[in-house]
C-alpha cells in the first residue's frame, strides 16, 4: 500500500469516527432521555460580590445593583449597591433592581435606570436583561404590571425585562395577577428562600402555569441540586446559582485532545 492510499484511508476513517460520534450525540441511549429538557445554570452576584469573584467562564451572570424606594409624596429614592459598572466582555450580563415600593410616576425611575445602564455600556459591557425584583408584604400586582410595561416600552430595543418574585407567587390567589405580566416578561424568576425543595413546593412548581427560572440561595452548588427532579418540571427554564465567596464553585475540568471526554 503506497503512502497516498494510506493517507486517503486515514482521512476516511477519521470522517467515519466523527460521523458515528455525531450520530450518538443526536441519538442518546434510552428512549426517554431525549424528551428530558436541559436545565441551564447561570450565576447571580449579590451586593457582596466583587467583579474579581465572578467565575472566569462564559456563563451569564445577573448582578445586583440596588434598590428603589418611594416616599408617600412620590419622591424617588435610589440606593446603588453592589459592584460599580466594570468591563465584563464576552459574556451575558444582566442587572437586578429591587423595588421596595412602586412609583406613582415612573419617569424619574426610568431616567435613573437609563443612567445606570449607560454607565455599564460606557465600560464596554452590554446588558441583556433587566430583572425587576418586587417583594413587598402586600404586593400590588396591577401597579407592578404598569411598571413592567413602562420599562418594556422604554428599553425594549436594548434588553428584555424579567419580572421576579418569591414563592408566594406559586399560591393560587396570586396566579391570576401574574397573567398581564406575561406580555412584557418572557418568563418569571422565583427566588427560593431555602436550598431544599420540599415535596409541597415541588408540587406547586409543577402546577405553576408560566415559564420560570429558579434562583437558589447562596451556598448552593451544582452538586447540591437534584437535576433529575427539576428537569421534570415542564415550564422550568433554568436555575440561577447565587455566588458565595466562602463557597466557591468548583472549576471545570479542561477537555484535552481532539475529541471531548465521555
Please name the residue ranges forming H helices in the chain.
3-26, 107-122, 141-155, 172-178, 199-207, 227-230
What pLDDT shows up at residue 3?
A: 54
What CATH topology corresponds to 38-242?
TIM Barrel (3.20.20)
Rounded-to-integer distance, Cα 98 and Cα 78, Å: 10
Please name the residue ranges forming H helices in 40-171.
107-122, 141-155
Residue 200 CB coordination number (10 Å) = 9
Grid cell 449607560 in the structure block, residue: 118
DSSP string, 47-76: TT--GGGS-SSS--EEEEEEEEEE-TT--E
pLDDT tens digits for 145-164?
Answer: 999 999 999 999 999 999 99
pLDDT-based confidence at residue 251 (cuts at 50, 70, 90): low
What pLDDT shows up at residue 2?
A: 56
pLDDT tens digits for 25-50?
Answer: 444 443 333 344 457 889 999 999 99
Q: Where are the domains of the chain?
A: 38-242
pLDDT-wise least confident of 1-10, 112-121, 176-185:
1-10
Which residues, in sequence order, are CB contacts of 165 under 8 Å at separation 6+? 133, 134, 135, 139, 188, 189, 190, 191
Amino acid at each position: 500500500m503506497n503512502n497516498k492510499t494510506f493517507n486517503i484511508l486515514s482521512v476516511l476513517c477519521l470522517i467515519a469516527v466523527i460521523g458515528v460520534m455525531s450520530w450518538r450525540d443526536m441519538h442518546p441511549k434510552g428512549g426517554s432521555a431525549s424528551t428530558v429538557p436541559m436545565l441551564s445554570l447561570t450565576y447571580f452576584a449579590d451586593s457582596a460580590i466583587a467583579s474579581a469573584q465572578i467565575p472566569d467562564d462564559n456563563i451569564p451572570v445577573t448582578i445586583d445593583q440596588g434598590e428603589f424606594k418611594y416616599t408617600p409624596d412620590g419622591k424617588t429614592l435610589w440606593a446603588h449597591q453592589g459592584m460599580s459598572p466594570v468591563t465584563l466582555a464576552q459574556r451575558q450580563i444582566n442587572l437586578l433592581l429591587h423595588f421596595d415600593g412602586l412609583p406613582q410616576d415612573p419617569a424619574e425611575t426610568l431616567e435613573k435606570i437609563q443612567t445606570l445602564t449607560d454607565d455599564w455600556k460606557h465600560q464596554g459591557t452590554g446588558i441583556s436583561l433587566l430583572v425587576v425584583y418586587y417583594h413587598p408584604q402586600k404586593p400590588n400586582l396591577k401597579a407592578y404590571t404598569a411598571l413592567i410595561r413602562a420599562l418594556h416600552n422604554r428599553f425594549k430595543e436594548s434588553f428584555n425585562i424579567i419580572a421576579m418574585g418569591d414563592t408566594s407567587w406559586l399560591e393560587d390567589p396570586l396566579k391570576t395577577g401574574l397573567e398581564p405580566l406575561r406580555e412584557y416578561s418572557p418568563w418569571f424568576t422565583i427566588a427560593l428562600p431555602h436550598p431544599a425543595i420540599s415535596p409541597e413546593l415541588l408540587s406547586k412548581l409543577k402546577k405553576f402555569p408560566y415559564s420560570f427560572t429558579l434562583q437558589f440561595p447562596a451556598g448552593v452548588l451544582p452538586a447540591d441540586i437534584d437535576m433529575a427532579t427539576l428537569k421534570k418540571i415542564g415550564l422550568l427554564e433554568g436555575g440561577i446559582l447565587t455566588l458565595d465567596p466562602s463557597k466557591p464553585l468548583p472549576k471545570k475540568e479542561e477537555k484535552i485532545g481532539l475529541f471531548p471526554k465521555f
